[in-house]
Chain A
């Protein structure tokens, strides 16, 4: 099929890109510690990007057999578009790592096997006298093609699965999960079940300016909320980022190093969805901003190589985002960090990350799970409190960084102790 499309398209435009994806999915919904609903299906789609005299057009369809209509439509759109003088070419090929993206053992599970896998996890939770109020498991097995006029010609078979659960014991809730390309270990489940015990009998604390220890989950969410948009090379070029003209400047504590690497982590890939080879990009090195994230279009504008951060489905053109994120670990154990706090707070999770102001760094978020610490000891879990401050300022004042990277979906980050932030309590 891909050859037929290529033969049809190549003489009609100056450059082109063909993206084809075909996947089957199984989804299992959980409610009240039981499997509640199952759906299964398949999806397929074709996305065509063309360039004619620096005019770009894009069209997609789920009706792959009717690819001619899709190609003709992309060409029609390109012809009536404005010339984009900044466009140079689509992604270029390179040396690809041989990262495993397809796990046969996951792909060969029957619907019943998936069902049994989830039930085995629910059994563990039930035995701990904990309820799973809601949750879901999804598995996707697919094939994708990316082919363009610059020589990218890639075919992949891939597997993905994700498991999320919402735990409840008494009136204490806690969310967790696992995701990856192979059969999931769900290795954080025991830890999550233990945290539930510690979160019993939450108390209100009074308003306080104090050191704040953000655990890896909270750090991952904050980094995602404040950095993914600002680091996008496209946003920087469009003056929609607070990191414009800040390259080479030391903006944060020298204890903070931020890395993006699509070839590692829970969803490793050999290339992004334009076909650019994945690899390591150091974004912030010891507090200094040294690189942005790019797809092929924005990289050409800045005369740099794409960092392989162009992501898309068949129905859209690429957008820039993080792939797998790493924060360099420090040298203190989590326990050591806690014991160093005179009066302060540990944050395990917050609510409302999408309401932050990522241009200014300002945020005020509700602390869903946290603990009050007095003289180096965890005293009690807290409720009805907010954490308010400026995240970029917090990152200038890092006291300690944990000595290990913890996995939280596509983030691999240590917990970080910040010198001072504001807790709004009673």
Chain B
């Protein structure tokens, strides 16, 4: 009997119907450079252990940096005791899964000095004279994550995750701008091959934005590029399909299952199997990832579920139970969420607009699922006049209401791109996600502006 099994049995003899033990061994490296200086060269080693139990129908959780499993199980039971629920989770079959993130260049085999030199040297700064400051951040997380539970299941994921940010600041006279470009994925050091291009393009856009005009505020037709379309999908649809929010009566998509909520051209999927930053082969409850259709031909057909919400709604879990840390509560979260390809041409979208905007990129967004109100920011865009793309504009915010805007997606392109990723915050927890979309046209959206 393994050490894990011993303490699972211990929990069961104390009356738990389910015990889940987890362990994360993490090694992080952070390199931050500003101009030619190294401002951070940090290394962290973390070990975290957690026990989650289902005791008399309620979950309880305990965690520590020490692997005192008996104490963790006792504390988890104490946590569960204070809650009165009647949850029943579906029994699963015994399983052993060893997952390893594919890497071409193992980051642990490149020494820190070489990594640091590579980061400093990225980008042809001399070609961009208006750049006054250039910050680069490299984050590497090597994680060994194990889950074992009462059903005889054991999951181990040896993961390598790399994120890189390039933030360029430009200045000309009294005008100042900055432009942040980033990429992140489950991968090895090989993904830094894109570093040069990312750094140069952040400097290029920071310079170009100095000359960009402000947008005019008001209601306009807009075209969103793949990145902005992706964040639209995430904010305006994804969050409102999370089953915990539906159960809390704070989602406008409650009581909408099976109903037509969007234009028939719209199909939206959440899929943890996609090899992006949002990749989640098994969720934090050991549920295998699979594609979940959220919207099909404009109809809402599924919510995103964890074990607990699935138990309450009496449906199958969807593999979306996630927690930021072992110390965090598991709740339904997105993985990789995207709009499927349609068959509209980008040129036709542009030529259909008399006065509007083509908006690109994103600085992130936010949604209030109860009111159905969202806001997100593009990073830049172009003014469209009489069916033609005109001058560059500084990225405005877009605001709208979920139920009003979904029927207004009138055109869906056939050029789907899934972004490598970003971070999504909910209930104080941040998790890795990806999103994507083809170009989409929205007939009317509220555009913020300074004019």
Contact = CB atoms under 8 A, between A and B. Distances in A.
Interface of A: 25, 27, 29, 31-32, 35-45, 56-63, 69-70, 73-74, 77, 80-82, 84, 86, 111-112, 115, 131, 133-134, 136, 166, 168, 171, 173, 207, 238-240, 242, 315-317, 351-352, 354-355, 357, 359-360, 362-366, 368, 383-384, 386, 388-390, 422, 424, 426
B176 A352 contact: no
B217 A315 contact: no
Contact of A386 (B43, B78, B328, B446): B446
A270 to B, nearest CB: 26
B202 interface: no
A426 B363 CA distance: 25
Interface string B144-176: 000000000000000000000001010100011
Contacts of B113: 80
B427 interface: yes
Contacts of A316: 30, 42
Contacts of A133: 248-250, 370
B359 to A, nearest CB: 13
20 contacts: A31-B244, A35-B83, A36-B83, A39-B329, A42-B64, A58-B43, A70-B45, A73-B43, A77-B42, A80-B112, A81-B38, A81-B116, A133-B249, A316-B30, A351-B368, A362-B450, A363-B397, A364-B399, A384-B373, A388-B449
B366 A351 contact: yes
B448 A424 contact: yes
Interface stretch (B55-63, B267-275, B314-322): B55-63
B250 A166 contact: yes
A166 B135 CA distance: 37
Contact of B64 (A32, A41, A362): A41
B311 interface: no
User: What size tier do the contact residues of chain B reach?
Assistant: 35 or more
Most chain A CB within a 10 A radius of its CB, from B63, B394, B397: B397
A39 B363 contact: no
A69 B397 CA distance: 48
B397 A81 contact: no
Interface string B175-191: 11110000000000000
Given A35-B83, A240-B133, A388-B448, A365 B375 contact: yes
A111 B133 CA distance: 49
Nearest to A132: B248
B364 A354 contact: yes
Contact of B46 (A62, A360, A384, A422): A62
B107 interface: no
Contacts of A81: 38, 41, 116
B327 A41 contact: yes
A112 B112 CA distance: 48
Among B167, B219, B449, max chain A CB count under 10 A is at: B449
A41 B394 contact: no
B249 A351 contact: no
A366 B217 CA distance: 12
Contacts of A383: 371
Contact of B40 (A41, A58, A207): A58
A351 B50 CA distance: 35
Given A62-B47, A384-B401, A355 B368 contact: no
B177 A355 contact: no
A182 to B, nearest CB: 22
A41 B75 contact: yes
A272 to B, nearest CB: 18
A386 to B, nearest CB: 5
A133 B251 CA distance: 11
Contact of A40 (B30, B42, B62, B217): B62
B75 A40 contact: yes
A368 B368 contact: yes
Contacts of A32: 247-249
Contacts of A389: 450
